[in-house]
């Protein structure tokens, strides 16, 4: 059970942090304010990524460089001020399910985050504080509105830093369910949300950052149980695998008007909720392009989740805004293992189009070799 002192600290941090989060939450093009925003690349299927096999080019790194291990998967390490490594999907889902198997990072002030976030700043998340090895915080936001911070909850997650645990967010037009190790720990219905229900296409982001960094606001540092003592680090969050299932179909998702309601979302070449009921239907287990590396209520959870590489690492600033996405170019397709490859047999000289960002330079080289093998 959460102690009174912990709840008091969270309440105090809420007041100090609210104005900062509201002022710094941003998006490159907010479809509730503009009508010329580009469409969101749709996943439109289910993928299952095994990071013990290395990086995949459907997730881009930001805020630092994740490292990969055949034993544990991908690690997000905070070693110094400004570190906030994360992976962000180049695709969006329009309702869906995300299952991530991971260990949270230890350390006072260190925050591990799994965030679903849309261009109009709807958000659903998990947050783990490094000072607490027994709980995970769950939260949601609608269109970046942070007038109140009464949506967060503390949910049991024993030994979250010492063992790999599967965490699940299941998001439909009717409810959001959060699971820890297969146990349902929270349900939010549309009615429960009081008109603040997240319902627009979302990217998937995960990584670690330092809420306890001295550059942050006092409220953020207190919420994260900082300050962070980097001499006790480095501090690492580790993700073994992630399964993402899009409950809708199509090539892209477009806002039909500025309301941000799910009924206004247009699935180009498909249908909103066209995949509903097919969660986890994946025919291929992930095998990355190449291995790249080395051996209870009242929570004041920052909107935006993962911190940035510079400035306030509250996760509510520009570094984690909804502008960090690429696209799947014409003639390329997403495979069920999270790899993006050319359609059919490509020539040995084929390269990903300029607009496609791959996760690492090594993946770029490996992808070129892979395409050559298809010739």
Can you read off the two tokens belonging to residue 189? Answer: 């219905």
- Chain centroid offset of residue 173 CA: 19
Can you read off the two tokens belonging to residue 70? Answer: 């055949």
Catalytic residue among 123, 174, 268, 330: 123
DSSP assignment string, 143-201: TT--S----BEEEE-TTTTTS-EEEEEEE-SSEEEEEETTEEEEEEETTTTTT----S-
**Is 127 one of the catalytic residues?**
yes
Residue among 298, 281, 371, 283 at smallest CA distance from 331: 371
Residue among 176, 206, 194 at smallest CA distance from 95: 176
Catalytic residue among 127, 174, 268, 330: 127
39 contacts 252 by C-beta, under 8 angstroms? yes
H-helix or E-strand spanning residue 241: strand 235-246
Residues 6+ apart with CB under 8 A from 6: none
Can you read off the two tokens belonging to residue 354? Answer: 């300029």
Which residues are tagged catalytic? 123, 127
């Amino acid at each position: 059970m959460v102690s009174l002192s912990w709840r008091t600290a969270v309440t105090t941090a809420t007041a100090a942090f609210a104005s900062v989060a509201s002022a710094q939450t941003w998006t490159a093009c907010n479809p509730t304010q503009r009508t010329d925003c580009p469409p969101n690349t749709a996943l439109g299927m289910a993928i299952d990524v095994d990071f013990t096999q290395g990086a995949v080019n459907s997730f881009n790194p930001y805020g630092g460089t994740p490292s990969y291990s055949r034993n544990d998967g991908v690690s997000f390490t905070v070693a110094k001020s400004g570190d906030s490594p994360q992976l962000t999907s180049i695709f969006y889902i329009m309702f869906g399910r995300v299952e991530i198997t991971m260990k949270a990072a230890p350390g006072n002030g260190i925050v591990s985050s799994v965030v679903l976030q849309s261009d109009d700043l709807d958000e659903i998340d998990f947050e783990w504080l490094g000072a607490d090895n027994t709980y995970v915080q769950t939260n949601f936001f609608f269109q970046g509105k942070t007038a109140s911070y009464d949506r967060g909850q503390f949910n049991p997650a024993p030994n979250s830093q010492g063992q790999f645990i599967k965490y699940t967010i299941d998001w439909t037009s009717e409810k959001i369910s959060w699971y820890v190790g297969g146990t349902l720990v929270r349900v939010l219905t549309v009615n429960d949300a009081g008109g603040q229900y997240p319902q627009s296409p979302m990217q998937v982001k995960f990584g670690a950052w330092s809420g306890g960094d001295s550059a942050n606001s006092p409220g953020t540092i207190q919420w994260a149980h900082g300050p962070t003592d980097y001499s006790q680090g480095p501090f690492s969050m580790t993700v073994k695998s992630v399964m993402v299932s899009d409950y809708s179909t199509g090539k892209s998702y477009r806002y039909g008007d500025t309301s941000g309601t799910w009924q206004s979302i247009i699935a180009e070449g498909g249908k909103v909720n066209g995949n509903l009921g097919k969660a986890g239907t994946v025919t291929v287990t992930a095998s990355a392009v190449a291995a790249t590396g080395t051996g209870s209520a009242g929570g004041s959870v920052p909107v935006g989740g993962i911190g940035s590489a510079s400035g306030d690492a509250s996760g509510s600033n520009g570094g984690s805004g909804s502008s960090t996405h690429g696209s799947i170019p014409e003639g390329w397709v997403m495979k069920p293992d999270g790899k993006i490859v050319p359609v059919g047999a490509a020539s040995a000289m084929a390269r990903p189009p300029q607009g496609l960002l791959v996760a690492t330079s090594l993946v770029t080289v490996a992808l070129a070799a892979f395409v050559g093998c298809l010739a």
